[in-house]
Structure 1
Amino acid sequence: MGQQTYETSIQQAILDLDEPGWDFRPATVGSGRSAATWRVPQRVLDHGLGAAVVGAVTGMRADLVHRFDLRVPGPRGPHVLTMHDLPPMRFSDEGSLPPWCARPLSPDIEVICPSEFAASEVSELVRARRVTVIPYGVRPSFQQPEPLDVDALAELGITRPFFVHAAGVTRRKNLEGLADAWALAAPDLPDHELVLLGPPHARRHELFGHLPRVVLPGKVDLDRVGRVMAAAEAVVVPSIYEGFGLPSLEGMAVGTPVIAVDRGALPEVCEGNALMTGPTGAEIAEAVSAVGRREVDRDDLIRRGLERAATFSWDKAARAHLDVYRSVLA
């Protein structure tokens, strides 16, 4: 979700700047049946030499190329590459990277990362030499939206005060820790529910299906997720590895307390304006119970979270991207 939000938001934000002298043209590469700008048989993309040729060709008509992921090599010479993090190199269930990623990145490539943590990862794991940190912004639909009302929540199966988790199901999302936490916290919070947003997945059912008062609404439209978060007691982000951790920023931006694990980029993004905790079930449960029993100053967390979220914007990110482009072109 974070990468998709970044790609759509930063492109629109750069276009909205309407900087004179710039002409931006999006292009995509995909297999022969896709709707991509460049349609190439998958067997060509899977072959190192074929992918390299595709990467070179896609940059022939541009003064500068900005790649948004690693699936296709870029053109020879200076260009820009966004790298959000490198979970495939840390976790076995995060897929794999193309074979050319085993080599150090060319010093001609200017890498954009969303956090200092992500920058440290790409510097260590793919030996990137030129890295610029540009944090994400906040989508308009997450800027203090109107919370969903009781009837709308009931349509999603939510009927009590609730904690919400909105992320994937891979190991780094630490669903095991969250499940252990809810098993411990639920008896102390009999009037609360735990809501897990996201498409149906066997791991959610396996880990949470036997626990009390767990609601699985399925996939919710992204612009509606913010309104669900705004109605929650807290947004819980139990991840142990995030290059940014967009749900933590979004939770603060909607005006809801955030409970986040102190791993990856989450401490950097929250900067002390969320309730930080360790990754174990017992530690997360303690934080959840403290919020549910009003043992923390919820209003203070909301105020500080909103102030922190206000320091992030896609407009600011777009201007920083243009600075990187000017530097590379120079």
Structure 2
Amino acid sequence: MEGESRGRAGDAIGDVSRRVHWLSLYTTVPMGQQTYEASIQEAIAALAEPRWDFRVSSVGSGHSAATFRVPQRILNHRRGARVVGALTGLRFDLVHRFDLRVPRPPGPHVLTLHDLPPMRFPDEGRLPAWCSDPIPDVQVICPSEFAAAEATDLLGAQHVTVIPYGVRPSFQQPQPLDTAALGALGVTRPFFVHAAGVTRRKNLEGLADAWGRVAPELPDHELVLLGPPSDRREELFGHLPRVVLPGKVDLDVVGRVMAAAEAVVVPSIYEGFGLPSLEGMAVGTPVIAVDRGALPEVCEGSALMTQPDGASIAEAIRAVGREEIDREDLVRRGLDRATTFSWEKAAHAHLDVYRKVLG
């Protein structure tokens, strides 16, 4: 939800309403973070709880389409960010910052931290210096215990509530994409699918190494990499056989692609949650995931876990491709695990945090 909009829940009226400002960092790049923001806002509004009044806004550079357009040099400057935080917090009882880079207000607020890759990896962008300030007094929401540990270790957070993501309706056992629709994407064989970004923590090197090892042994299979055109994907996979790069695919179609796959491969070495692993389980497809970050926590024995090196990932892909696993059991466990995640449950937990901060 970009730009400014308003939404009322239940019979929120006049002075009895608790006014909450949902404040995001403006971006045009679709990510799991944007899925979270849209999904949790919709879920909270759907609860129709009385006496809550929500406003949705975004903060971005002066050249963006954000609600609050501010020169980047101001947002990067400690004093400038303080002024922006004070302005965006005016007339609200509570501000929910959906990104660490959104300036903090002087009054009551909540911060969602999914993870902190810029503090761990050099290719994940740079944070303004003030983002490294300790936040022991801030009420933080994290999607996993792993992310909560990162918030504590790197930012000194002392008030952290873990609230896992939910599953979007389009990923709840959707109809698999048919042969014709897959063909339109360039997919012509049974396939394994990867649906994530291209930064170092996504471990595309490990996946490329794995596919180079296993592709000759699975000549009837393809590897499908979903996502916008990327030089990095081309560099790592362009020379490998039977790799399909459909480009950017609509989010609601991604679930149907996953549902048609042999397995969803999540090779990441650092994830605060790892939404594709949950989505793969929810669509009813086996998940191959690396035993790092929050992935073991999310999958919890319901995925084929592996080490991040190419040989280990290849072994897992080979086991699925050669039907050396009990596929039905893995799918059943994945579906059962996915049912424990709910945006409605997350919405109730978010409101509990709001109430706690507001006293």
> Normalised by the shorter chain, which TM-score bucket?
over 0.9
Partner of residue 89, structure 1: 119
Kindly indicate whether residue 115 of structure 2 is the aligned counterpart of residue 76 of structure 1: no
Q: Distance in 2 between matches of 1:73 and 1:120?
A: 22
2:89/2:107 contact within 8 Å kept: no
Q: Secondary structure at the match of 1:28?
A: strand
Aligned pairs for 1:1-330 (under 5 A) are: 1-107=31-137, 109-330=138-359
Report Cα offsets for 1:69-125 as digits up to 9, x if no partner: 022321124310000000011101000112112221141x10000000000001000
1:10/1:317 contact within 8 Å kept: yes
Report Cα offsets for 1:217-274 as digits up to 9, x if no partner: 0110111000000000000000000000000000000000000000000000000000
2:76/2:129 contact within 8 Å kept: no
1:262/1:276 contact within 8 Å kept: yes
Q: Distance in 2 between matches of 1:39 and 1:101?
A: 19
2:191/2:224 contact within 8 Å kept: yes
- Regions of 4+ moved over 6 Å: none
Please, which moves more after superposition, 65-74 or 135-144? 65-74
1:185/1:289 contact within 8 Å kept: yes
Q: Distance in 1 between matches of 2:57 and 2:199?
A: 29
1:144/1:253 contact within 8 Å kept: yes
Q: Distance in 2 between matches of 1:203 and 1:35?
A: 28
**More strand, by proportion:** 2
Q: Distance in 2 between matches of 1:37 and 1:93?
A: 28
Please, which moves more after superposition, 20-29 or 256-265? 20-29
Q: Distance in 1 between matches of 2:66 and 2:124?
A: 24
1:78/1:110 contact within 8 Å kept: no
Q: Distance in 2 between matches of 1:66 and 1:24?
A: 10
Q: Secondary structure at the match of 2:305?
A: strand
Report Cα offsets for 1:171-200 as digits up to 9, x if no partner: 000000000100111111110000000011
Q: Distance in 1 between matches of 2:136 and 2:153?
A: 14
2:93/2:108 contact within 8 Å kept: no
TM norm structure 2: 0.90
2:77/2:128 contact within 8 Å kept: no
Instruction: Point out where structure 2 has 5 or more consecutive residues left out of the alignment.
Output: 1-30
Q: Distance in 2 between matches of 1:27 and 1:202?
A: 33
Report Cα offsets for 1:52-83 as digits up to 9, x if no partner: 10011111110011000022321124310000
Count how many residue pairs are aligned between Structure 1 and Structure 2. Answer: 329
Give the superposition deviation at 1:45: 1.8
* Structure 2 letter corresponding to 1:238: P
2:94/2:107 contact within 8 Å kept: no
* Structure 2 letter corresponding to 1:257: P
Q: Secondary structure at the match of 1:25?
A: strand
Q: Which has the higher contact order (CA 8 A, sep 6+)?
A: 1
* Structure 2 letter corresponding to 1:313: S
